[in-house]
Structure 1
Amino acid sequence: MKFCKKYEEYMQGQKEKKNLPGVGFKKLKKILKGCRRRDHQIASINHCPRECTVCDGTFFPELQKEMEDVVGWFNENAQKLLELHLASRFKKCLDWFKGNNNRKRSHLGLIQQGKDLVSYALINSVAIRKILKKYDKIHESSQGQAFKTQVQKMHIEILQSPWLCELTAFHINLKESQKDYSGAVLASPPALFDGCSLVFDDGKPLLSCELSDSVKVDIDLTCSICLDTVFDPISLTCGHIYCYMCACSAASVNVVDGLKTADPSEKCPLCREICVYKGAVRLDELSILLKRSCREHWEERRKTERAERLKQAKEYWDHQCRSFTGI
């Protein structure tokens, strides 16, 4: 089955369950097909000019809007799913008493939602890659690849989403957990997807996720500031992951104030992009995974971080008291 047909069938099936955005694969192909036919009639060649005002004025803006909608929907729903999974026992019990499904079903329901989100991210990523490849083939150009680089800088590439990183950690955490909410042992915990693991290469942590034969995501979990395994990890809007306190230090803010108070002109230490701190995402599932996988190292870092946080908190409140009293 051709990918276009496979994609259309997948999206149609999903839209019957819920109204979710997707890539207008068939519509974008028609734009390219019409462009090729028009140019063939004019110049008797079988490809569009390298600079095509019709394609560039319609194709790229349309695709960019669709990508923004896709990654926005994915991020929002992945966040809701993981917040539900990490909710306190009290909140879970409250949801249960409100009439939600029994706890085991709720647990399995979270797993199924995670699988659906990963499948959605994968198939849309492949659709975008294929349509851009087709654009470059017709135009005999590399503008499609240049556009892909551009949208990566705009943070609308779905495989760069920090929530995909969180879903990967969520998957591994579920595999390692042998109990459902009621305390009964699960013989074989269902998995979100295969080919997912946390590995250590010469002591350096790497979160690896093989989504398909052709799509693999590797995430380096070494903080580029302290050069250690990330502790209390946070992802900046540019996609780079740091320890929370290291990120605060880089943004020149106190841990009490937090990253939301960072000056917009502060840059990411790696890519030097500005305005990356305010929308940073706390990677709680990843934090749980690293705590389980390197317990001794984690405990050592926790003690060090706690002492530093207390020191910064004391300095902060001392400064606030002096400002208030004028002493």
Structure 2
Amino acid sequence: MKFGEAFTEYLLGEREWMLDKKCVHIEYKRLKKVLKSCQSCTRLQSSSCSEFLENQLCQCQACPLCDQMFFSELIKEASDIAKYFNSRVRRLLHLHVATGIQRYVVRLRKCFKNDQQALAQEGRVLIEYIAMNAIALRKILKKYDKVHSSVKGENFKSRMHAERIELLHSPWLIELGAFYLNSDQSDAGELNGVYGHFSCNLNVTEAAMTLVLPDSTRLEYDLTCAVCLSCACSAASLMIFQGLKAASPESKCPICREVGVYSKAVHMLELDLLLKTRCKEYWKERLADERVLMLKQSKEHWKSQSTYAI
């Protein structure tokens, strides 16, 4: 089955859920028709050219019809999909790792209904939603470049990266993968084969998570960070106990040197839990080191505050 047919079948199957949740999707079928119209129009205009006989594809450097339809719409659709996915996963995982009185309420509800099963089902739906739309986006951009013999479609991915709306590189997708691995006692989370397959290698020096998509695309997520929490806080002139979100808007990331990234930091609780349960010795050492450093920084901070007040 071609992807266009599979995507249409998926949308029909999830129609009720999508209408209820008011979520958007990549308009793959309509955009493909626009490409077909553009290609047919160009062939008609070039039918008298000998060059056309050598290449049946549109050679225009810019196609107003496609450019207006594609890149303005796709950036909005991708942004809306990313925002919806992130918010839904955040809510789902918040229920799973709830604390305090909310944790008590969640546990009480479990006496009357199987919340764990409901959470797992919603997670599967969200994974298929982000995966199918990501595949649709990749394929329609590839087709755009093929029709126009351009690299605009490929360059569009760079724009998505710059605006941080890449569908398959959200930290919330990694959190969702950790959620499945935490729910499963083995090293792999099977999602019924249709939705994909999560697995992980928690070697402390080369920790990574793998996601295989429905189209057999394999994605590797490196779980090791190029900068530790202490250095990240130091770069933003923060104490560890203050947290990254306390950084000023002008603070720059020590890696990419961009501003405004600290406010978008995600505390990955599911990934923390995964490491805590499967790398116990490493986790104990890491927590001990962090506590020593936090205690030292706290003493220095309050000492400086007292000196300033005096």
Structure 1-normalised TM-score? 0.82
- Matching residue of 1:127: 136
CA deviation after TM superposition for structure 1 residue 108, in Å: 0.5
Corresponding position of 1:6:
6
Match of residue 293, structure 1, among 268, 278, 295: 278
Contact 2:244 2:265 in 1 (8 A): yes
Alignment RMSD (CA, Å):
2.4
Counterpart residue number, 1:147: 156
Going from structure 1 to structure 2, the CA distance change for 1:163 and 1:103 (only over 3 Å counts) comes to farther
8 Å Cα contact 1:175-1:191 kept in structure 2: no
Question: Pick from 86, 94, 97: which aligns with 1:83?
Answer: 94
Aligned-pair CA distance for 1:88: 2.6
- Alignment check: 8 A CA contact 1:256 1:316 kept: no
Deviates more, 1:282-291 or 1:83-92: 83-92
Once the two structures are superposed, the pairs formed by residues 10-29 of structure 1 within 5 Å of their partners are: 10-17=10-17, 18=20, 19-29=22-32
Poorly superposed stretches of 4+, deviation over 6 Å = none
* Equivalent residue number for residue 235 of structure 1: none
Equivalent pairs counted in the alignment come to 295
Residue 196 of structure 1 aligns to a residue whose secondary structure is strand
Residue deviations 1:145-197 (CA, integer Å, cap 9, x gap): 111122122111110100000011111110029xxxxxxxxxxx985766422
Equivalent residue runs for 1:286-325 within 5 Å: 286-323=271-308, 325=309
CA deviation map 1:264-322 (0-9, x unaligned): 33333333332211111111100111112221121111111101111112222223333
Deviations 1:118-171 (A, max 9, x none): 111111111001100110110011111111122122111110100000011111
Structure 2 residue aligned with 1:207: 209
How far does residue 33 in structure 1 lie from its aligned partner after superposition? 1.8
2:220 maps to 218
Query: Tell me, which stretches of 5 or more residues in structure 1 are unaligned?
Result: 178-188, 226-242
Letter paired with 1:35: C
Given that 1:47 and 1:138 are in contact with CA atoms closer than 8 Å, whether structure 2 keeps it comes out as yes
Which structure 2 residues correspond to residues 1-327 of structure 1 after superposition, within 5 A? 1-17=1-17, 18=20, 19-44=22-47, 45=52, 46-48=56-58, 49-88=60-99, 90-95=101-106, 102=111, 105-176=114-185, 195-200=197-202, 203-225=205-227, 243-323=228-308, 325=309, 327=310
* 3-state SS in 2 of match to 1:217: strand
Q: 2: distance between equivalents of 1:262 and 1:201?
A: 31
Instruction: Give me the whole-angstrom Cα distance separating, in 2, the residues matched to 1:195 and 1:8.
Output: 22
Which stretch of structure 1 is more off in the superposition, 101-110 or 293-302? 101-110
How far, CA to CA, are the matches of 1:29 and 1:138 in structure 2? Answer: 11
Q: Distance in 2 between matches of 1:202 and 1:258?
A: 24
Secondary structure at the aligned position of 1:281 is classed as coil
Structure 1 distance, partners of 2:9, 2:190, is 26
Taking a change above 3 Å as real, the CA distance of residues 10 and 306 of structure 1, as seen in their structure-2 partners, is same
| Structure 2: gaps of 5 or more residues | none
Is the 8 Å Cα contact of residues 201 and 207 (structure 2) preserved in structure 1?
yes
TM-score by length of 2: 0.86
Query: Kindly tell me: are residues 15 and 212 of structure 1, through their superposed partners in 2, closer, same or farther at Cα, counting changes over 3 Å?
Result: closer
Instruction: Say if 1:73 and 1:202 are closer, same or farther in 2 by CA, change over 3 A.
Output: closer
CA distance in 2, matches of 1:103, 1:294: 34
3-state DSSP class of the match of 1:158? coil
Identity of aligned residues (%): 40
Q: Distance in 2 between matches of 1:284 and 1:96?
A: 18
Taking the aligned partners of 2:87 and 2:288, their CA distance within structure 1 comes to 34
Deviation at 1:29, TM superposition (A): 1.3
The CA distance in 1 between the partners of 2:70 and 2:115, in whole Å, is 42
- Structure 1 residue 102: deviation in Å? 4.3
CA contact (8 A) 1:291 1:298 kept: yes
Shift in CA distance, 127/262, structure 1 to aligned 2, threshold 3 Å: same
